[in-house]
């Protein structure tokens, strides 16, 4: 009886050793695929959704600072909801804070590397800042991922064609220092 178990046992071990790595790899692949496909499709927390709606309304009304406040509050409520960063970036761009907008776009890309809106927005902010060559890299990547007819690609291509906009200076920025001289 013992001899029968010993001869059956090596077969079992051989089968286990032969197929276990493949089964583990497939299981891991299915788990990662399922989690990635669920990550981008989730809805924000209901409280965050209300704050996001308020922020978008403020942005539409031309109040980027109020919009930023609402988006930051929404981010505090639901820090895992990545699209908030796109809204924060848009509000920052409207305030003329392209550097801050670029950091929000990069945070979005860190969380979702193939986010076309973030690539396009970052490229447009780079153009506004004067970094046209870096923006062209974003355009090349967008064209390779979604093609030249993709709305994000067309939007970035238009921004690059328009080029960096001249800065508007205020009177205080060009006023000379007041110097008192004695006669």
Q: Please write the tens of the pLDDT for every residue from 90-119.
A: 999 999 898 899 999 999 999 988 889 998
| Domain with residues 46-162, CATH architecture | Alpha Horseshoe (1.25)
Contact 138, 105 (CB under 8 A): no
The answer to which of 68-82, 114-128, 151-165 has the lowest mean pLDDT is 151-165
Taking the model in full, what pTM does it have?
A: 0.67
- Distance in Å from the first CA to the final CA of the chain: 121
Chain segment 22-38, per-residue pLDDT in tens: 777 777 767 666 544 44
* Dist CA 67 CA 88 (whole Å): 8
Contact 45, 78 (CB under 8 A): yes
């Amino acid at each position: 009886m013992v001899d029968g178990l010993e001869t059956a046992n090596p077969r079992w071990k051989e089968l286990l050793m032969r197929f276990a790595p493949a089964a583990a790899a497939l299981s891991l692949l299915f788990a990662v695929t399922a989690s990635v496909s669920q990550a981008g499709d989730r809805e924000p927390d209901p409280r965050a959704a209300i704050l996001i709606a308020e922020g978008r309304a403020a942005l539409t009304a031309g109040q980027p600072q109020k919009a930023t406040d609402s988006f930051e509050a929404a981010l505090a409520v639901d820090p895992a909801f990545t699209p908030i960063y796109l809204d924060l970036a848009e509000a920052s761009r409207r305030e003329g804070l392209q550097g801050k907008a670029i950091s929000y776009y990069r945070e979005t890309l860190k969380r979702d590397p193939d986010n076309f809106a973030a690539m396009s927005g970052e490229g447009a902010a780079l153009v506004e800042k004067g970094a046209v060559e870096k923006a062209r890299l974003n355009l090349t990547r967008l064209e390779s991922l979604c093609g030249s007819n993709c709305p994000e690609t067309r939007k970035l291509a238009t921004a690059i064609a328009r080029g960096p906009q001249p800065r508007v200076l205020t009177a205080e920025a060009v006023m000379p220092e007041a110097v008192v001289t004695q006669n």
